[in-house]
Amino acid sequence: MDLTLADQSNGKPLDMGTDFDYFGYPAYPDREAQMLKEGKINQLQVDNRELLREVMKGAGFKGIGSEWWHFNAFSRKIAREKFEIVK
């Protein structure tokens, strides 16, 4: 699932450091420390991403290393075992 967080008071998305579906290193959770050190993202953006990860983890989802906005409910293996492909 792809999602972000929004400010409850105005509905605007929180600043995550990159746009949704930006496919460069600044979007990679696995590279946040490096991107922070290089000044490509800032601490508030990292904090917002960590909040999103905490909320999603609490709901049973797991993030991936290359997209701050993407979360899975199951591994591919478990999804294949539990569900049929819809054609």
- For 47-79, write each residue's pLDDT tens digit: 999 999 999 999 999 999 999 999 999 988 998
* pLDDT tens-digit readout, 16-45: 999 999 999 999 999 999 999 999 999 999
Residue 87 has pLDDT above 90, yes or no: no
For the whole model, what pTM was predicted?
Answer: 0.88
Q: Which of 28, 37, 32, 63 is nearest to 47 (CA)?
A: 32
pLDDT of residue 79: 87
CA 80 from chain center: how many Å?
Answer: 23
pLDDT of residue 57: 97
In CATH, the number for domain 1-87 is: 3.30.1380.10
Q: Determine contact, residues 3/71, Cβ cutoff 8 Å.
A: yes
